[in-house]
Structure 1
């Protein structure tokens, strides 16, 4: 049974590294969460390593700028692994062809910046749908719009046999008090319609491979049984940790705050009922990272 803990410090001595989700755990899409920042700073002071593992479609440099904007200090983390970097590597290896139709907002164009970790990258060109070989999705054109609005384009793409590269498997995210659709919702729709979607963020293995490489670059390798994954998404953060056989800390005050009846912490019965419904079994749970 998932154990509810009072603070990260209660268990942090068991782990040499943390894989920490960002949105809903360290910031709320508007500003940093002070208690979470302090908990990570204290953990690093004790010698632990913190790798921020995010389903953001942005390159690592873009996430670093975003953290500064939100007020997350750089002494709260050591490295960053993004779904965007993992997906970009696949794109530049030709996973969906050279001519791609891009789905996303203007600020997502950083996804197409050159990536020096790929040898002999393909020449990616953004083209209209009718000229495309594949789809690249960093998020909806409008995060408040119903994903079903993309059905006409997806029907055409499916009929042409295009693959969709999903740069962010999250279905929804909360920006402050506003819930927005993410790229994962569009990829799920495309799959439901019979198309093929390729995923590179949590809960899928490529981003964990990237996170381990980022962690190894900080010093000596750390065994999986000494890593704790922290996140607020049972179908992304927790499912991914379970798939990688890594212990996990579920932040219930994020996406599942209503279902788990989280005030300061979740109500035990509500938490267990929610986890049973989701067929999820995180190692630990806490209302908010602190």
Structure 2
């Protein structure tokens, strides 16, 4: 699609649904905003599944998929809306298992410790560690990357690998935009540090999601029949483009203010201009996910 071609502004998922057998759907920003669930989104995915489609939730949450499922239950997101969940936390656990004999230094809040549940992990200081797992900020409402600068310098001095358990830079929580682990990882990478990103926009999480969908369906699903849904250009849309699948961008997420949604509904020309200035383009864009 060229920069001058018109973007598809979709009124709902239904007109697009027949093109796809599988939806890889983002969670935070599409199904909920960290405070409340979006009922229309769950309804749309449920309807897609009722028509024979598969839905795998693909999240950059730094926790295992089962933990995210429990969180979605708390938001009253019905299990009819999805078949399975794949998270960056799942891929982080695989990275930890591969290094089970090594000492890990954890950067992140206590709520992310389920990453290590059931694993015989040895924790240590930066000076003792063989590698680092970064799941986020200890206090994402008050801290910035600068609060971690000294620690990052110490990691870099020892040339430690950082496993980033949540590649997102920012996330929407209610009406707040808060930093994620990806912000810390990016700062470390800019210092010359080595980073393994466990989630979107990187390929391994998509490969795992397609493998899960193939197991559920009993056959592989071709990429041209897969649609990624998400609200972030840098992760959801760029990840889909890099993996070679179509994407549907949900506008009323982390880019809502840039798209002028604080002033009302999507305006075609404004959205077109914004998308034309982005490094990657979605196949279509929608205000909120609905049928």
Identify whether the pair has TM-score above 0.5, normalized to the shorter chain.
Answer: yes
TM-fit CA distance, 1:200: 1.5
2:30 partner SS: coil
* 1:264 to partner: Cα distance: 6.3
What is the alpha-carbon distance in structure 2 between the residues aligned to residue 245 and residue 69 of structure 1? 34
Would the aligned equivalents of 2:202 and 2:239 in 1 still touch at CA under 8 Å? Answer: yes
Give the distance between the partners of 1:2 and 1:154, measured in 2 at CA.
41
Instruction: State the shift of 1:274 in Å.
Output: 2.0
TM-score normalised by structure 1 residue count:
0.94
How far is 1:269 from its partner? 2.2
Unaligned stretches of 5+ residues in structure 1: 116-122
Alignment-derived partner of residue 5 in structure 1: 10
Question: For the residues of structure 2 that align with 1:148 and 1:43, how far apart are their CA atoms?
Answer: 44
Alignment of 1:1-290 (within 5 A): 1-94=6-99, 98-114=102-118, 124-144=121-141, 145-219=143-217, 220-262=219-261, 265-290=265-290
* Structure 2: runs of 5+ lacking an equivalent: 1-5
**Structure 1 stretches of at least 4 aligned residues deviating more than 6 Å after TM superposition:** none
Report how far residue 265 of structure 1 moved.
4.3
TM-score, scaled to structure 2: 0.93
Query: How many equivalent residue pairs?
Result: 282
Q: Is the 8 A contact 2:66 2:85 kept in 1?
A: no
Q: Equivalents in 1 of 2:103, 2:270: separation in Å?
A: 48
- Note the C-alpha offset of 1:209: 1.0
How far apart are the structure 1 equivalents of 2:266 and 2:95? 39
Deviates more, 1:97-106 or 1:76-85: 97-106
Paired with 2:86 and 2:264, the residues of 1 have a C-alpha distance of 29
- Deviation of 1:126 after TM superposition, in Å, equals 1.1
